């Protein structure tokens, strides 16, 4: 408690396993009451509701630069749940193992993870719920950093227009307008997921199913499981074309067992993440990252799904409405240009053209 009380620029980072409604609610209440900015570890954005007034956004790939600066400037990091792995810490550079000039309180349920890679000033072996409940007894000096960080996230998570035939930013915005807040969003690995990491607002524990290990092909089978476990909820599977080709055959399982889910296949004709690394390290030397894809709409129909192709931004909302007006497994084949390699840059900029 002394480290928390004396800190001038504390930042909390939440993540890992063990977050339930009780833990999430208690931690959100405490952070909001004390004005502490709360960021999420890579693909753990559902640890607390993103409408919490001190929610600051996610770390990982392509984070808000203002959040990165806030973490760098922090004099205390309260890390509750995550291991602080490579993705969250930007290759152990954003937060270094010895974190000079910063104090670290590291909370994790596995004692073997404490002090494993990071030297903690205070290491706490505890579950998320019990630690969050104990925090409620700690009152800190009032501060405005939390609300300021949340305002920065709100601006960052609002899509800006891009000169693209298919711009995924407005597509995510259309989904936020039309789908319930407690929709379960499932994705695998790939640059396509970055649009939802940036622009979607997760409602709390169990609304983001995503692999922190970078496993391709996770989105569709995760959505099948989520749909069968929660038939009353809206479930969305996100998959790039390469990601979908890993486990797309699980559509047969979904149809056979009566799953009710929406599948978005984001098709840019290549392994986008690998292509981005190729262009960054060896500009113009592209090898083995192009894909000659099947007709995903026809393939979805062959499995027994309702399916439609969307090629323009302005057509997405209508296609989404048609999909959500049906039951069963619905698939939208969203065709994009690989030049728009992330939500914030292009391949030309990656190459330095």
Contacts of 315 (CB under 8 A, 6+ apart): none
- CA dist 41 and 80 (Å) reads 10
Q: What is the pLDDT of residues 153-176, one digit of tens each?
A: 999 999 999 999 999 999 999 999
Last residue in a domain, options 155, 184, 210: 155
| Structural domain count of the chain | 2
Answer for the pair 9, 16: CB distance below 8 angstroms, yes or no.
no
> Could you tell me if 166 and 132 lie in one domain?
no
Last residue in a domain, options 109, 131, 155: 155
Q: What is the pLDDT of residues 21-51, one digit of tens each?
A: 999 999 999 999 999 999 999 999 999 999 9
Domain of residue 224, CATH code: 3.40.50.970
**SS3 state at 226:** helix
* pTM for the predicted model, two decimal places: 0.95
> Could you tell me if 177 and 208 lie in one domain?
yes
> Could you tell me if 188 and 283 lie in one domain?
yes
Which pLDDT value is given to residue 285? Answer: 96
Which pLDDT value is given to residue 37? Answer: 99
Radius of gyration (C-alpha) of the chain in whole angstroms = 21
Last residue in a domain, options 97, 122, 155: 155
**SS3 state at 256:** helix
Contacts of 230 (CB under 8 A, 6+ apart): 184
Which pLDDT value is given to residue 246? Answer: 97
> Could you tell me if 231 and 116 lie in one domain?
no
- CA dist 34 and 146 (Å) reads 8
Burial code (b: 16+ CB inside 10 Å, e: under 16) for 275-295 equals bbebbeeeeeeeeebebebee
> Could you tell me if 96 and 182 lie in one domain?
no
Q: What is the pLDDT of residues 218-239, one digit of tens each?
A: 999 999 999 999 999 999 999 9
Which pLDDT value is given to residue 145? Answer: 98
Which pLDDT value is given to residue 142? Answer: 87
Which residues of the chain are under the pLDDT cut of 70? none
> Could you tell me if 259 and 287 lie in one domain?
yes
- Chain centre distance of CA 110: 24
> Could you tell me if 128 and 274 lie in one domain?
no
- What range does the domain containing 241 cover? 157-351
> Could you tell me if 145 and 177 lie in one domain?
no
> Could you tell me if 125 and 35 lie in one domain?
yes
Answer for the pair 330, 313: CB distance below 8 angstroms, yes or no.
no
DSSP string over 287-349 = -S-B-----HHHHHHHTT-EEEEE-SHHHHHHHHHHHHTS-SEEEEEEE--TTS-SSS--HHH
Domain of residue 146, CATH code: 3.40.50.1220
- CA dist 76 and 323 (Å) reads 46
Count of CA atoms in the C-beta half-sphere (13 A) of 133: 10
Q: What mean pLDDT value characterizes the chain?
A: 97
- CA dist 303 and 287 (Å) reads 32
Q: For the chain, what percent of residues have pLDDT higher than 90?
A: 98
> Could you tell me if 250 and 113 lie in one domain?
no
> Could you tell me if 62 and 121 lie in one domain?
yes
Which pLDDT value is given to residue 90? Answer: 96
Q: Kindly state the tokens that stand for 342.
A: 């992330």
Give the containing element (helix H, strand E) for 28: helix 21-34
> Could you tell me if 103 and 202 lie in one domain?
no
Count of CA atoms in the C-beta half-sphere (13 A) of 245: 16
């Amino acid at each position: 408690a002394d480290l928390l009380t004396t800190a001038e620029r504390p930042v909390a980072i939440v993540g890992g396993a063990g977050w339930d409604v009780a833990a999430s609610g208690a931690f959100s209440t405490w952070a909001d009451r004390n004005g502490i900015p709360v960021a999420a570890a890579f693909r753990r954005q559902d640890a607390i509701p993103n409408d919490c007034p001190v929610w600051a956004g996610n770390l990982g790939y392509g984070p808000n630069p203002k959040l990165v600066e806030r973490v760098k400037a922090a004099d205390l990091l309260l890390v509750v749940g995550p291991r602080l792995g490579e993705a969250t810490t930007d290759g152990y550079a954003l937060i270094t193992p010895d974190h000079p000039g910063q104090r670290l309180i590291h909370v994790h349920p596995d004692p073997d993870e404490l002090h494993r890679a990071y030297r903690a000033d205070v290491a706490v072996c505890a579950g998320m719920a019990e630690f969050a409940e104990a925090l409620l007894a700690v009152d800190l000096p009032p501060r405005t950093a939390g609300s300021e960080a949340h305002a920065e996230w709100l601006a960052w998570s609002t899509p800006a227009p891009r000169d693209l035939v298919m711009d995924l930013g407005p597509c995510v915005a259309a989904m936020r307008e039309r789908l319930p807040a407690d929709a379960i969003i499932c994705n695998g690995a790939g640059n396509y997921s970055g649009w939802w990491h940036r622009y979607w607002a997760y409602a709390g524990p169990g609304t983001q199913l995503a692999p922190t290990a970078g496993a391709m092909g996770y989105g569709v089978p995760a959505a099948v499981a989520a749909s069968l476990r929660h038939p009353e909820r809206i479930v969305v599977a996100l998959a790039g074309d390469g990601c979908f080709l890993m486990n797309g055959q699980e559509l047969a399982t979904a149809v056979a067992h009566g799953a009710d889910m929406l599948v978005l296949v984001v098709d840019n004709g290549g392994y986008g993440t690998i292509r981005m690394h190729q262009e960054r390290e060896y500009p113009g030397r592209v090898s083995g990252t192009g894909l000659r894809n099947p007709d995903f709409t026809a393939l979805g129909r062959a499995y027994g799904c309702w399916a439609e192709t969307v090629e323009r931004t302005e057509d997405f909302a209508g296609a989404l409405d048609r999909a959500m007006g049906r039951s069963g497994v619905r698939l939208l084949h969203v065709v994009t240009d690989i030049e728009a390699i992330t939500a914030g840059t292009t391949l030309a900029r990656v190459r330095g053209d």
